[in-house]
Amino acid sequence: MRTLVEKSVNSLHQSYTLKVLREPYFDPHWHFHPHYQLFTVLRGSGTRFIGDDIRHFGEGDTVFLGPDVPHLWRSDAAYFEKGSDRLTEGIVVYFKIDFLGTDFFAKPEMRGIQDFFQRSARGLDIVGDLREQVISDLRDMSTKQGFGGVLALLSLLHKIASSVECQEIASPGYTNTSKASETERLRQVYSYVLHHFQEPITLEEVSSLVHMSEAAFCRYFKSRTHKRFIDFVKEIRIGNACRLLQEDKLPIAEVAFQSGYSTLSNFNHQFRSLKGMGPREYRRLG
């Protein structure tokens, strides 16, 4: 794997790293690293990949990840257009389990945070009132350094660990079976699908992209992502449909077409199989 995060995560001046991100788009590379990560999106939208979970993200999306949980916040296509004036913004905090010493979080007083760290192996969505509190605390923490920054981080971890407003993201039992050297291959597949999901996508073209036979690619993709490639494409398409249903007033048939479906009946069937309801009901509830 290209050391996209490792090369810049560790701080020379602090035991943890906090960054305020302001870029045309979020880092478009699928990757993982040995740090815990707390990240909130202040501005921007796109598709989020965490472990084996895929969903649309927007402003306010706030997540806590354990070490080596593969992830990617892929900004919408409009952010990559030439001449685009769109910007993304976020705040991210990285730290390792031993950033305050090898035994600090093994102390009895840290039991709640220990349990929280264990849950984060699947990634955790921070929701509800807690999310607004965490975003406010991160903004405040971005102005602190030294001892004040460490105290702010510990207080924030305690607040999150003590709350019930955290939801597991990846499937139960999910484990990262990817090797660091393989992330570029998965990145190519993800990028291709995100650029072409509105068109027919064949196994032949995707497997040739990563220089594998169709059968070998299917086995590889399922072993690394815990899902079939055809289901992955469906989740991308339905995720796009959900975004359109929430944001626009397009007719359902147009939503289907812009999400890669040539027939409305197939779109309705695929949408219901994934969301447990039809697109019209989803729009009303949104």
Nearest Cα neighbor of 61 from 39, 83, 37, 92 is 39
In a domain, 216, yes or no: yes
Cα separation, 246 vs 241, in Å, equals: 9
Cα 12 to Cα 16, 68, 90, 134, 267: the distances in Å are: 9, 22, 22, 25, 51
Confidence check: pLDDT of 4 > 80: no
pLDDT at residue 11 in the model: 61
pLDDT at residue 3 in the model: 37
Q: Looking at the whole model, is its pTM more than 0.75?
A: yes
Question: What percentage of the chain has pLDDT greater than the value 70?
Answer: 94
Range of the domain at 29: 6-168
In a domain, 181, yes or no: no
Geometric angle at alpha carbon 93, from 163 and 185, rounded to 5° = 105
In a domain, 81, yes or no: yes
Confidence check: pLDDT of 5 > 60: no
Confidence check: pLDDT of 121 > 80: yes
Nearest Cα neighbor of 236 from 86, 59, 54 is 54
In a domain, 175, yes or no: no
Residues 120 and 250 in one domain: no
In sign, the C-alpha dihedral spanning 170, 176, 177, 179 is: positive
pLDDT, tens only, 189-235:
988 998 899 999 999 999 999 999 999 999 999 988 889 999 999 99
pLDDT at residue 13 in the model: 66
Q: What is the DSSP letter of 105?
A: G
Residues 49 and 119 in one domain: yes
Residues 205 and 158 in one domain: no
Residues 107 and 15 in one domain: yes
pLDDT at residue 187 in the model: 85
Cα separation, 59 vs 48, in Å, equals: 12
Return the amino acid letter for 3.
T
Residues 59 and 20 in one domain: yes
Confidence check: pLDDT of 182 > 90: no
pLDDT, tens only, 70-120:
999 999 989 999 899 999 999 999 999 999 999 999 999 999 999 999 999
Q: What's the number of domains the chain is made of?
A: 2
Q: Which of 126, 149, 168 is the last residue of a domain?
A: 168
- Average of per-residue pLDDT values in the chain: 91
Residues 212 and 264 in one domain: yes
> Residue range 247-268: average pLDDT?
92
Nearest Cα neighbor of 153 from 37, 69, 240 is 37
Residue 274 belongs to domain with CATH number: 1.10.10.60
pLDDT at residue 172 in the model: 86
In a domain, 263, yes or no: yes
In a domain, 138, yes or no: yes
> Residue range 163-184: average pLDDT?
84
273 or 11, greater pLDDT:
273
Residue 148 belongs to domain with CATH number: 2.60.120.10
Tokens of 144: 């602190």
Residues 15 and 101 in one domain: yes
Q: Where are the alpha helices (DSSP H) in the chain?
A: 6-9, 111-119, 128-141, 146-161, 183-196, 203-209, 214-225, 229-247, 252-258, 264-275, 279-285
pLDDT at residue 201 in the model: 95
Buried b (16+ CB within 10 A) or exposed e, 240-264: bbbbbbeeeeeebeebbbbbbbeee
Helix, strand, coil percent content, the chain, rounded in steps of 5: 50, 20, 35
pLDDT at residue 173 in the model: 78
